Structure 1
């Protein structure tokens, strides 16, 4: 890598600013690896919202995957997982209110990050882990010239 910011590296750095991510590793391959870890992965193609002469307003979907303990019978532990998600969703909301957006690279300006999911479980593994997937819609303006 040549040291330039990329969308994924900028989003990763920004997400690490959330206190609820402390202590865990934030991978970029979609596989958190172990309890307490996270991973982020991008959808393939950004969607054009509008095209202007000098820029494109685009939207791109990213998925944040959180690996955490899961036992269907343990209501307290499952509530803790839900509380983490609610705190994270509130952090995203606050970032939008204050304009605290990720740096997505040269000629790209983030204009919003929207949590467009429920933080739903996508995988349960027999060893007592679950992967929750959070869908983030990142809207940005990409300057062409």
Structure 2
């Protein structure tokens, strides 16, 4: 697995931009640290196939004990997509943990065979991703149903 990203400037001085600190047994990145020393933790769900949370500023070693509920909820959503509501509640509860209040948290839900179904950035304003019958991204709406982006597909023969 890669351990870092190194850049070279015009005077041939190497600089480490990002260090990949920790991986899980499946090769998923669990933590990376940027040049300025800020760790970012990635929590994997859906049976360790998709990232479900990104926490900026908090090391993985201190958060691993807080993630069981969201991992379990995502695994249940993978088995039955009607469980997504329970996953969203678990992710919102995770975002609101007192221990995590001062960190930037982004959470994600998926339809594993299609793509992301929601992203909640640190602002807390969830974006909902909708797909058409061909599994192409159709639109992105906010939690109130307001259209953010719409996608049209035109094919020429």
Alignment TM-score > 0.5, same fold = no
Tell which has more relative contact order, 1 or 2 (C-alpha 8 A, sep 6+).
Answer: 1
User: Max radius of gyration: which structure?
Assistant: 2
TM-score using structure 2 length: 0.29
TM-score using structure 1 length: 0.31
